[in-house]
Amino acid sequence: MSKEQNLVPALEIPNITLAFLVQELQPQLLNAYVNKIQQMSNQILKFKIHTKTGDRTLLITSNSIYFTNYSTQAKPNPTSFASFLNKHLYNERILKFEQITSERIIVLEFRSCKLYCELFAQGNIILTDLNNQILMPFKPKSWSVRTLRKGETYQLPPARGSNPFTVSVQEFSKAIQASPKNLVQSLIATVNLAPVIAEQICADIKLEKTIQPNTLTSKQIQSLFHQLQFYYIQSLQKIPQPSLLENPTKTILLPYSLPLHVQFVSKEYTSFTEALDELNLGKITQSNPQEVEEQKTQTKKFSELEYSIQQQHVLFKECEENAVLYAQLGEKIYENYSALSEVILWIQENTNPKINSPEILEKLKQKFPFIQEMDLRKKELIVDL
């Protein structure tokens, strides 16, 4: 197997994990600018993104999107798709970064176009205008229900049941009881639950996953719905603990460990970016751990340097603005030099230790109406010119 193929391991990323991933990336991607787009392999696109904390490398694979801390090599010659994206997205600001309902699809919206990232099956990336007319797909494809080709209107794939993030208890109850499949299959098909979470929900309320949903009581359906909300809605309000679940048949990245599968959790991470970076790219340089750490250190230093440069640009801009302001003040002082000299001379001649400042100020204001405030102790004079 080639290194390019190893870049995208057989890793499942359920819709709930994608929701957490979007939540993690949004603060950095919103209002960031696209600088450059390159193709690394047939499955990976590399975006140079200018964020408020510096330049970052964003990778879009067939099943994920994340920032990498590794040095990554693109193809030596620009591909037609990467060139087309550069033409439309160079220096464009990311206005929206969202997951579409509960699908494994993310959309990045710009001033005049949208970029749809379909992170399922073999993956695809589709550039459209704001009316969803396809400008160019990464992989042109056609099915009986939709076509991903230039000039066609972009359509989402058929929904797999209700949206678990927004489904009501009435909608959930009706869909479950009408399903001809067993309980766990019905949860997957009717409300688009990740299979491992559907199994966990059944275990939580001690229901056999193979029973028929039409035999459930109202109380059992309420309990199922409560657990669905716990894993899909309430969990999003908590700090995630990205966990890699590996069993004999699959590898899944989850936002939390599940009691039913706790024995299969092989590793926990501090962030989804860290997890995906290691799982997608770490294997290339795993034979040389020192090189991996050096790359991470260099990338961190580079980001810190970029941030420092940005701060210097901000300070330089402030200095420029202050220079203009002080030049204007200097002009005002020069225009009123004679009057200001007269004020200073008057203060020198009329200052008397026996007379307090308020009295002097009152006399001064009567003679020079443009005087606002005075502090003899600090030797400060405020004037309105």
Q: Which residues pair with 169 in a beta bridge?
A: none
Tokens of 370: 């443009």
pLDDT in tens, 34-63: 999 999 876 799 999 999 999 999 999 999
- Alpha helices, DSSP H, located in the chain: 3-6, 15-29, 80-89, 169-178, 183-191, 195-204, 218-232, 272-277, 289-335, 337-350, 357-367
pLDDT at 50: 97
What does DSSP assign to residue 229? Answer: H
Q: What is the pTM of this model?
A: 0.72
CATH of 3-159+280-284, one of 2.160.10.10, 3.90.1150.200, 3.30.1130.10, 2.30.310.10: 2.30.310.10
CA atoms within 13 A on the CB side of 99: 23
Q: How far apart are CA 127 and CA 136, in angstroms?
A: 5
Q: Look at residues 253, 123, 280, 122 and name the one whose alpha carbon lies nearest to residue 197.
A: 253
Question: In the 8-state DSSP scheme, what is residue 103?
Answer: S
Block mean pLDDT (10 aa), the chain, length 385: 45 96 96 95 89 94 92 86 97 97 97 97 96 97 96 95 96 96 97 96 96 96 97 94 88 94 89 91 49 57 58 72 80 81 80 68 79 76 79
Q: How far apart are CA 52 and CA 42, in angstroms?
A: 30
Q: What is the torsional sign of CA 257, 261, 262, 264?
A: negative
* Separation of alpha carbons 329 and 107, rounded Å: 50
Beta bridge partners of 118: 105, 124
> Is the separation of the CB atoms in 30 and 63 below 8 Å?
no
Provide the sign of the torsion angle of the four alpha carbons 88, 94, 100, 103, taken in this order. positive
Tell me what pLDDT residue 3 has. Answer: 43
Which contacts of 171-177 are long-range, i.e. CB under 8 A and separated by 24 or more positions?
Answer: 172/221, 172/224, 172/225, 172/228, 173/218, 173/221, 173/225, 176/213, 176/216, 176/221, 176/224, 177/213, 177/214, 177/216, 177/221
Q: CATH 1.10.8.50: which residues of the chain? A: 169-262
Phi first, then psi: give them for residue 374, nearest 5 degrees.
-150, 140
Q: Taking a C-beta distance cutoff of 8 angstroms, is the pair 101, 86 a contact?
A: no
Where in the chain do CATH 2.30.310.10 domains reside? 3-159+280-284
Please give the CATH number for the structural domain made up of 169-262.
1.10.8.50
In contact, 289 and 54? CB cutoff 8 Å = no
pLDDT, position 264? 87
Residue 238, Cβ neighbours under 10 Å: how many?
10
What is the reported pLDDT for 179?
96
What pLDDT score was predicted for residue 292? 55
Question: Maximum distance among all alpha carbons in the chain?
Answer: 103
- Characterize the bridge pairing of strands 265-268 and 96-99: unpaired
**How much is the pLDDT for 1?**
40
What is the sign, positive or negative, of the torsion defined by CA atoms of 285, 288, 293, 299? Answer: negative
Closest C-alpha among 257, 176, 254, 181 to residue 218: 176
Residue 175: what pLDDT?
Answer: 96
Quickly count: other Cβ atoms within 10 Å of residue 263's Cβ. 8
129: which 2 tokens? 């205008």
Q: What are the φ/ψ torsions at residue 54 (nearest 5 degrees)?
A: 125, 180
Q: Which residue has the tokens 């009581």?
A: 217
3-state SS, residue 143: coil
Token couple for 192: 């688009």
